[in-house]
Structure 1
């Protein structure tokens, strides 16, 4: 059963009013003024039963998830540990000094209960609000991808022949991946077929080759995104296995951007990862202006021939 948190003042708060303890220019005050998180209750109401134990209020759950990203807190356990020490967090969540802080597991349980579709609705809703506020032009985007380390240690990686790794994946149920099937990606070639993380089998073991990385193969995912040129608002994004090349995701990201902002795109900016012959051809057919490095002399020669 979905719970609804009723905010009320503690009878014995030792004369402490959190509203007076949080400075007027605290960013959370401005966020609370312009964002009404209570909309989430209507979005997820049907995902809860009518009887049984009450859950943590979905509004508080969404605020907790928001705080994780706002302050880049390294883990959900760490967030729950620091909430009692942060008066502004308590005020933002509507908690008093003596209220019990939820267990970190409420966040993972909520993500499983709400599902991917709900979070996609949250994202699209946020983009539309930015469009309405005049923060998104929609005509020019910058595309990029970031490798993200999986929550799995290097010690969890095992090495074996391709046949044994394939059998381990079958036993771990990787066919039902947390992400979309890699078979859906054009030109997909799986890397490191002889390595598997037993902690997170869905995360391919790949090397981050960009400058500043350690060059070690680790379990990783990759986040692909489009950033609008006007105010840097992310208008489209997707997460894939770490061995999905960025150029493969260019057109899907463009399609998502146009669908989310409701406006036709005119210009795409990207680095050499996106400057493939196929991408140039496809974007030219769509009538888009491109500012992308051709990547290598072979690509440049092929482009000159087209």
Structure 2
């Protein structure tokens, strides 16, 4: 294939073992590009110029996460100045780089279309072709993502005036309700929750991982949602098959979940929880200890995402945008772990 001078110059100046180049060689981007095109395939931009390919914008989002969870503006700057990033994006020195507003609109478009979960599935299918993901067991947990759009002052309320001439109307009671006044700039879909004695405002990232800690599925809720509530939805989304053992801490322990796992043919690896006047037996305590030793992988996943990507702080507003951020991190994490840990990943025996 012929190579122009700018492409030759970029190739000459980039290290062969660079992380982004290795990712490019690991992944077949064609099915991902096809999936993106179902939701984002504009022929031109707002001023009539040819639109940027969706795959290019998707790669830019991943690049921003791999470099510490950069803002869209910082990603644009990096694509203009970093030769490794330029080569990964398929750009030449003379090419225009999409600006941050294009990147933001692309993310918004795919978020509105609910496309992110499907892209994670495609990424994971590709990882499976390398023999990395395992299906003998899975681990479930939740982590809080902090919203920067929290209320600065205590919420205040207004009372809708009671009008006696409407007392006989069906909606009169609703019209007299007390409502919370929305504060400008506050994320109205995020919620407060107590964590380690401190109040936190944001969302919860409910995640199921395989035995290697690779993310299989994610659900996003407001932070005040109990950890265990999305469990069955998560298992269904991840396609957990009968015979698989699900590990989780005692927050997920309930008769409802025991019955649901049994009906699905899924093995119960949820820690037991003591109830009033009924302490755990010695056998239950031993079982809990064994479960703790194997479910560390999901905590390692959350810890690595925090260290590598700055995942604890959300730049965006709304549950759907928070979910997009969680899924993008999951894809970035799975690809990084796959590339750097292929020789270390081993299938472990289940409890």
Is TM > 0.5 for Structure 1 vs Structure 2? yes
Task: Give me the TM-score of the superposition, normalised by structure 2.
Answer: 0.63
From 117, 121, 128, the counterpart of 2:118:
121
- Aligned-pair distance for 1:9? 3.7
Q: Which runs of 5+ in 1 are unaligned?
A: 1-6, 165-192
What residue in structure 2 maps to residue 148 of structure 1?
145
1:29-64 per-position Cα deviation (integer Å, ceiling 9, x unaligned): 111112233444433445445564321121210110
Q: Which runs of 5+ in 2 are unaligned?
A: 161-178, 285-351
Task: Give me the TM-score of the superposition, normalised by structure 1.
Answer: 0.71
CA RMSD after TM alignment:
3.4
Tell me, yes or no, if the aligned pair for 1:19 and 1:91 is still in contact at 8 Å: yes
| Aligned 1:180-259 pairs, distance under 5 A | 198-210=184-196, 215-218=198-201, 220-229=202-211, 231-258=212-239
Tell me, yes or no, if the aligned pair for 2:243 and 2:265 is still in contact at 8 Å: no
What residue in structure 2 maps to residue 71 of structure 1?
67
After superposition, the Cα gap between the structure-2 partners of 1:77 and 1:298, relative to the gap in structure 1 and judged at 3 Å, is farther
Is 1:292 aligned to 2:270, yes or no?
yes
After superposition, the Cα gap between the structure-2 partners of 1:205 and 1:49, relative to the gap in structure 1 and judged at 3 Å, is closer
- Aligned-pair distance for 1:288? 2.8
Tell me, yes or no, if the aligned pair for 2:150 and 2:186 is still in contact at 8 Å: no
1:262-305 per-position Cα deviation (integer Å, ceiling 9, x unaligned): x435201112221233223322343432232334534966999x
Tell me, yes or no, if the aligned pair for 2:204 and 2:223 is still in contact at 8 Å: yes
- Aligned-pair distance for 1:253? 0.9
Question: Which segment is superposed worse, 102-111 or 126-135?
Answer: 126-135
Secondary structure in 2 matching 1:138: coil
Aligned residues: 258
1:209-257 per-position Cα deviation (integer Å, ceiling 9, x unaligned): 04xxx81342x1111111011x322111121222221101111111112
Higher relative contact order, structure no. (Cα contacts within 8 Å, ≥ 6 residues apart): 2
After superposition, the Cα gap between the structure-2 partners of 1:284 and 1:48, relative to the gap in structure 1 and judged at 3 Å, is closer
